């Protein structure tokens, strides 16, 4: 069982009707890179979130996501799924 941690930045886009929707996630090499990319994405979009997930990709078993940073507007249901920002 090889545990790996993935770092992700996810932009939050404003949909056609003004609703907030997740954009395309970007996988990054480190926590710092994910936090930095989320900050940059938030300057161009409604918001962004950086998070990590650890688990075993061979079995598909992962721990719940851990929010590393959030910027701007984040949909409530997305915030509930990944927990509180640190």
pLDDT of 76 reads 79
8-65 per-position pLDDT tens digit: 999 999 988 888 989 999 999 999 999 999 999 999 999 999 999 999 999 999 999 9
Residue 80, token pair as written in the block: 């509930």
Q: Distance of CA 17 to CAs 14, 21, 37, 53, Å?
A: 8, 11, 26, 31
Between 83 and 69, whose confidence is greater? 69
Q: How many CA atoms lie within 13 A of 13 on its CB side?
A: 8
């Amino acid at each position: 069982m090889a545990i790996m941690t993935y770092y992700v930045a996810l932009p939050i886009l404003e949909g056609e009707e003004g609703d907030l929707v997740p954009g395309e996630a970007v996988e990054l090499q480190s926590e710092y890179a994910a936090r930095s990319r989320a900050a940059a994405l938030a300057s161009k979009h409604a918001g962004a979130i950086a998070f990590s997930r650890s688990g075993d990709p061979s079995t598909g078993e992962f721990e719940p996501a851990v929010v590393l940073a959030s910027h701007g507007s984040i949909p409530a249901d997305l915030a509930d799924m990944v927990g509180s920002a640190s």
